[in-house]
Amino acid sequence: MPRGRGGGGGSNRSASAREGAVLTTVSKFVQGLKPGANNNWLGYCPLHGEVPGRSKPSFSFNSETGLWNCFSGCGGGGLPQLLKLVGRSGTFVDKTMARLRPYLKEPARKSTSSHKEGLFLAQHPLPEKLLGLYEYAPVDLLNTGFDKEVLYQHDIGFDRELGRITYPVRDLSGTLAGIVGKPIGDDGPGKYVVYEKELQEKSKDFRNYSFDNHRFVWRWERVYQRLYCSEEPTIIYVTEGFKACLWMVQHGFPDTVALMGTKLSTVQQKFLERLGGTVILCLDDDHWGRAGTRRIGYKLRGLRVKVIHYPYRYWDLQPDDLTEEELLNAINNAYTYTRWRREWQGAVRSG
């Protein structure tokens, strides 16, 4: 029987082997792990120093997917990211993940609809230690008000050789899938550089490397476990670019993801449909962003879709142009897609 990365199928024996291997590793960092429903475990968060007995545990971990989330605000992500946040080196993470990956399953089981195995996983996983090359604080972002800690947690770096801010893109299990670079001081649309030849030239191991960022949603691995476990209706915020996304995360919207463009690919659409609930579109308020909002809202018509309401319309604003208060208002006053579309069409006709 052919098998993907899911490894040992569904027998009880492999399930316990999986829990054994994965939980042994995680329990080294997370105290007091207790089982809940659907392979979800609850424990004390190692990231904000939770002490057993002093508070309720707020760290949720899924032993099947390796995804985790802290409900007290430390964020979430895949196992590689957890290992790094508790201070392990890239090399350690690569070794550990090579051992544990066969026990992990693709995180996409909320809906019963079928999909191709591996749809949300990296075709060409990259080693974690690669990020070591870009471990420099992007001064440009710090100067425009981005929090150092937020940038660190997202592994935002700088390619000193090519003068670009680097954004790592991960698959839904948290495995590093690609790097996207942004030349500094360049805010125009379509200026992102998807690293392919840059990596092919770096090492023989990457000679056949390829990466299509449209098959990924930026930060999806960070929101999945939280939304998946949540008892409340799912609300997910969707931006166009990395900066807008980070800005929203930094200002109180941890469930924000970025499409890395104004188009919604089939994989991205499947992911959002799998989560269900409400999608709040927060694309830029420029020509491309509005055109994208119109198309995406239509594609997602099976979901509840809302659109951010910028304080000044048609000013080419994007979420990271807004102050915290403006952003909060823009989200609270979000229009339904239908209303947005009606007004937008009116504006196009009169303009």
Under rule CB under 5 A, which residues in 281-320 are in contact with Zn ion?
none
Is 262:291 a contact under the CB 8 Å cutoff? yes
Question: What DSSP element (H or E) covers 55?
Answer: none
Under rule CB under 5 A, which residues in 21-80 are in contact with Zn ion?
45, 47-48, 70, 72, 74
Cβ atoms within 10 Å, residue 118:
14
Q: Is 333 helix (H, G, I), strand (E, B) or coil?
A: coil
Under rule CB under 5 A, which residues in 5-24 are in contact with Zn ion?
none
Q: Which is nearer to Zn ion, 30 or 331 (CB)?
A: 30
Under rule CB under 5 A, which residues in 155-194 are in contact with Zn ion?
none
Q: Residues near 310 by Cβ (< 8 Å), separated by ≥ 6?
A: 285, 317, 322, 330
Q: Give the nearest distance from C-beta 70 to Zn ion in angstroms.
A: 3
Is 248:319 a contact under the CB 8 Å cutoff? yes
Number of residues that bind Zn ion (CB under 5 A): 6
Indicate whether 259 belongs to the interface with Zn ion (CB under 5 A). no
Is 30:22 a contact under the CB 8 Å cutoff? no
Structure tokens at 223: 């929101």
Q: Which is nearer to Zn ion, 85 or 151 (CB)?
A: 85
Query: Running DSSP on this structure, what letter comes out for residue 107?
Result: S
Q: Which is nearer to Zn ion, 46 or 157 (CB)?
A: 46
Q: Give the nearest distance from C-beta 53 to Zn ion in angstroms.
A: 16
Q: Give the nearest distance from C-beta 48 to Zn ion in angstroms.
A: 4
- How far, in whole angstroms, is CA 218 from its chain's centroid? 4
Q: Residues near 7 by Cβ (< 8 Å), separated by ≥ 6?
A: 14, 18, 102, 103, 104, 105
Q: Which is nearer to Zn ion, 74 or 108 (CB)?
A: 74
Q: Give the nearest distance from C-beta 149 to Zn ion in angstroms.
A: 13
Q: Give the nearest distance from C-beta 86 to Zn ion in angstroms.
A: 11
Q: Which is nearer to Zn ion, 39 or 72 (CB)?
A: 72
Q: Which is nearer to Zn ion, 45 or 257 (CB)?
A: 45
Q: Give the nearest distance from C-beta 104 to Zn ion in angstroms.
A: 22
Nearest by Cα to 227 from 186, 276, 184: 276
Binding interface with Zn ion (CB under 5 A): 45, 47-48, 70, 72, 74
